[in-house]
Amino acid sequence: MTCAIIAVQGAFAEHERRLAALGEKVFEVRQASDLKQPFDRLVLPGGESTAQSKLLSDLGLSCSLHDLIDQGIPVLGTCAGLILLAQSIDGRGDIHDQANKTSELDSPVEQLKTLPVGVMRNGYGRQLGSFRTVGSFAGEGHIPMTFIRAPRITQLYSPEVKVLAEVNGSPVAVRFKNQLAVAFHPELDDDPRVLEYFLSI
């Protein structure tokens, strides 16, 4: 199989290395013409959701990506990728961080809106709110989870959204049909089970 990784900004290289180690062929998508190459699945990596949204729009990628996902191609959205997939953005981040809000939080994000969930950007706090933990994932046992300025999933808009992992009662990994979205960064840990699950979709 071949995986296309959106490489306009963010942690695309880390996803490439992890997927290649699992035997997946990968290539980077930097412009609309790259989508003409044949591929079987798609990754939206972590990074800055506002920057990625603007670049995807400016490069003419947004509509094509929406159509591909809508047509059923398996997609993984990690952190910022989760935000881009989400149907709605419900807040500006952690309530205690309002005095330090930045232009990133105030800037609009043009989502693909293919995943029926609501998210809150920086929902666990900003940089000092980043953390690591372990949790059960999709019945595969406990895995490490690294959260960096992570979004919080606040709403599930469809009964077809399956919660695969929770931290302190909040969903941190969900699946909806062909879409897998996680608030943490599986590409930053040695445990391959999240990416293996993605490759099984």
What residues are annotated to the active site? Answer: 79, 185, 187
Q: How far apart are the C-alpha atoms of 76 and 197, rounded to whole Å?
A: 10
Determine the Cα–Cα distance for residues 81 and 86; give it in Å rounded to an integer. 9
Rounded Cα gap, residues 84 and 37, in angstroms: 22
Q: Cα separation of 66 and 16, whole Å?
A: 22
3-class secondary structure, 185: coil
Instruction: Tally the C-alpha atoms within 13 A of residue 170's C-alpha that lie toward its C-beta.
Output: 17
DSSP 98-159: GGG--HHHHS-------EEEEEETTBTBSGGG-EEEEEE-TTS-EEEEEESS--EEEEE--T
Q: Which residues, other chains included, contact 168 with Cβ-Cβ below 8 Å and sequence gap of 6+?
A: none
